[in-house]
Amino acid sequence: MTTSPVSKSGFYPLIAGATSAFITTTLYQPLDFLKTQIQEPKNGISKRSIRSITQQTIKQYSAFRLWRGLTPSLFRAVPGSALYFHLLNLVKEKIPKKKQTFLVNGLCGALARGAADLVVFPFTLIKARLESSRYTTMSMITVIQHVYSTQGLKGFYTGLLPTLARDLPFSGIYYMSYRKLKDNMSDDTNLSSNRNWFTSQAAISVAAGLIASFITQPADVIKTYRQIAPADYKNVYMTVKSIIKTDGLIGFARGFLLRASRRTLVAATAWTLYEYLLKQ
């Protein structure tokens, strides 16, 4: 099956991006749930391991509780990814192939992600609240009501700065690493078979995801603190100071294994599905 250039440069990336986002978000939501509970401020809450959180959650509720926060995750990820891939595709079409350098690719990835984040950001905050152990009795509707009644509309954008500080570099680093690794592997490997193509695509995505996750980890921890307990952590400076005072620099690594696993799996699955759908 072939797809015309018009459809691929128009709404096809939207459909491919939304489809890949729906699948990956649903599959890996438990990792995000656990990461939020590992990262959240521990004032009055004892520190717990991944194993103890998982066991306690299943015992107190059920295994399905690990998917808490899925609805706002889908509201954020599906339109956000669709918009991201669409914008990225539009920007790429405007830039001649020979001018798509390592740094230009990084800038394109960052700008596309930043624009998508601004549109769907309120769902990022709602998702974090639902995943946290501090808001266990709240539903998505009551979280929205609580945020609006206590902070107004601006409350839905709490944590925007660290989120952009996380997502823009992540998407920029990821995309330029992805393109570089893909170009190098295409030069060195025969990708004629579907099996070789899928293996190479996954390997490229995993490597790029690990690099980007490591560099942007501190911003992710700051974002979680700001969104879970904005009254205690009123700005980025206070949050950074508190984390260092309480846990030292190692505090910024909290939840890295879960985040790196999820982001890498999501990126590998999403980009592989996206590229595959565009090939059809």
pLDDT tens figures, 43-63: 655 678 899 999 999 999 999
User: How does residue 6 score in pLDDT terms, banded at 50, 70 and 90?
Assistant: very low
Q: How many Å is the maximal CA-CA distance in the chain?
A: 58
Q: Where are the alpha helices (DSSP H) in the chain?
A: 5-9, 12-39, 50-60, 70-94, 102-131, 140-151, 160-188, 194-228, 236-247, 256-279
Q: Give the model confidence (pLDDT) of 27-46 as tens digits.
A: 999 999 999 999 998 765 56
* Residue 188: predicted pLDDT: 54
CB atoms within 10 A of CB 273: 19
* Residue 29: predicted pLDDT: 95
* Residue 3: predicted pLDDT: 39
Contact partners, residue 145, CB within 8 Å, separation at least 6: none
Quick check: 70 and 26 in contact, CB under 8 A? yes
Task: Estimate to the nearest angstrom the gap between the alpha carbon of 12 and the chain centroid.
Answer: 22
* Residue 275: predicted pLDDT: 74
Look up residue 18 and give its two tokens: 């939304």
Quick check: 190 and 196 in contact, CB under 8 A? yes
Task: Estimate to the nearest angstrom the gap between the alpha carbon of 74 and the chain centroid.
Answer: 12
For residues 67 and 4, the model is more confident at 67
Look up the pTM and report it. Answer: 0.83
Among residues 250, 232, 245, the alpha carbon closest in space to that of 43 is found at 232
Total domains, the chain: 1
- For 22, 128, 195, the CA distances from 43, given in Å and listed in that order, are 34, 17, 49
Pairwise CA distance, residues 228 & 153, whole Å:
16
For residues 212 and 205, the model is more confident at 212
* Residue 203: predicted pLDDT: 77
What mean pLDDT is predicted for residues 133-145? 95
Q: Answer yes or no: is pLDDT of 192 > 70.
A: no
User: How does residue 5 score in pLDDT terms, banded at 50, 70 and 90?
Assistant: very low
User: How does residue 10 score in pLDDT terms, banded at 50, 70 and 90?
Assistant: low
Q: Answer yes or no: is pLDDT of 64 > 80.
A: yes
CATH number, domain with residue 261: 1.50.40.10
* Residue 193: predicted pLDDT: 56
Q: Answer yes or no: is pLDDT of 122 > 90.
A: yes
What mean pLDDT is predicted for residues 237-244? 95
For residues 19 and 61, the model is more confident at 61
* Residue 272: predicted pLDDT: 76
* Residue 239: predicted pLDDT: 96
Residue 252: domain span: 5-279
* Residue 2: predicted pLDDT: 38
CA 118, 119, 122, 124 torsion-angle sign: negative
Quick check: 128 and 36 in contact, CB under 8 A? yes
Quick check: 22 and 78 in contact, CB under 8 A? yes
Pairwise CA distance, residues 186 & 205, whole Å:
14
